[in-house]
Amino acid sequence: MNLPNGKDANSLILAMGGIAVDILVFPKAEPKPGTDTPATIQVCPGGTAANFAFWCSLLGQESGLIGAVGHDALADIALSDLNEAGVHVFVEFHQDKRTACIVNLVDASGEKSFITQRGADEAIPPEIITEELLAKAKWLHIGGYAFYSDISRPAAEKAIRLAPACGVSVSVDPSSWYPLREYGVSRFLRAAENATLLMPNYEEGVVLVGRKPPEEMAAELLNYAPHVVVKLGPKGCVIAKEGCVRVCPTEARENPVDTTGAGDCFNAAFISEFLRQGDMWTAACLGNSLAGKIVTMAGARPDISIAKEWVESLGKDR
């Protein structure tokens, strides 16, 4: 555990709830049972929390990643670019579990379906969450996967319970509509009751409050958190706080390559800018812009040199 030194008190944006390896599969034809289907296959670092911490760091924030991996080659891949990105890593290594691995089947529109081995990612120990760690933080971002496992849930619940007492704001992203539905809406909303910011995408919002126009969805979710963002993919997002619900559109990308990680980099850009400016609109605009870049490539995290160029270009546009 590499805590920043004392002069950096209350400086970290912490993230928990996803460290993984992504295996991206782009089939070139409809798969046929019992025979070969040609495809392009890439192996990349991923995981919702890791992606989030990566982008926060490159956006100029000091970020930390909480999680668990196995003692295997997959862990080397999952953590491969985080040190260079400047992320503080607070990770438990499990001898008896494999690092999380996710097969992303990407269709011609860039949309993906996941086949998951959560492995060690489900085994974040509560002991890793300490008051000493949270005393170094100004924000805690939790991905829903941390709640959905019986093993990692105590760590997530401990973090979200201790954070307000340490003066740390909390954001929660449900991460995926199916495990959210299986976990249960009331359980999730109780778990997230200390959140400052809820960040579902539209389909996750449907699970939480039912299918309705995004503005109505965001307004209803204000019953559970004082700030809400509903992500709408190529249509941008809806931002909401008391007395204000606004659609923040974005420029849709033609022929997106892969949407993997787009929500994570949106979250990182939104929260990084919200902490700087205190304004949801400018935060949403930056989130939309960065997410619009990530869908032009395969994988959730580009090479750091490319990521830095993107961030620099966004800075010139602001």
pLDDT in tens, 153-209: 999 999 999 999 999 999 999 999 999 999 999 999 999 998 999 999 999 999 999
CB 289 within 8 A of CB 237: no
Q: Is 101 strand, coil or helix?
A: strand
Domain boundaries, the chain: 9-308
Is the predicted pLDDT of residue 70 greater than 80, yes or no? yes
Task: Write out pLDDT tens, residues 287-311.
Answer: 999 999 999 998 889 999 999 999 9
46-55, 94-103, 133-142, 306-315: the lowest-pLDDT one: 306-315
The superfamily (CATH) of domain 9-308 is Ribokinase (3.40.1190.20)
pLDDT-derived band at 17, boundaries 50, 70, 90: confident
Q: Is 3 strand, coil or helix?
A: coil
Residue 260 CA to residue 46 CA, distance in Å, equals 9
Task: Write out pLDDT tens, residues 84-124.
Answer: 999 999 999 999 999 999 998 888 776 778 898 999 999 99
Give the Å distances, CA to CA, from 164 to 21, 130, 172, 174: 32, 13, 14, 20
Is the predicted pLDDT of residue 7 greater than 70, yes or no? no
Is the predicted pLDDT of residue 81 greater than 80, yes or no? yes
What pLDDT sits at residue 4?
53
- Tracing tokens 């985080």 back to the chain, one arrives at 82
CB 195 within 8 A of CB 226: no
pLDDT-derived band at 8, boundaries 50, 70, 90: low
Q: What tokens appear for 140 in the block?
A: 């805690």
What pLDDT sits at residue 251?
86
What pairs with residue 231 in β-bridges? 201, 237
Phi, psi (deg, nearest 5) at residue 182: -65, -35
H or E element that contains 29: none
Angle at 240 between CA 147 and CA 318, to 5 degrees: 100
Residue 44 CA to residue 307 CA, distance in Å, equals 15
Average pLDDT for 144-160: 93
Is the predicted pLDDT of residue 144 greater than 60, yes or no? yes
Mean pLDDT of the chain: 92
DSSP state of 19: -
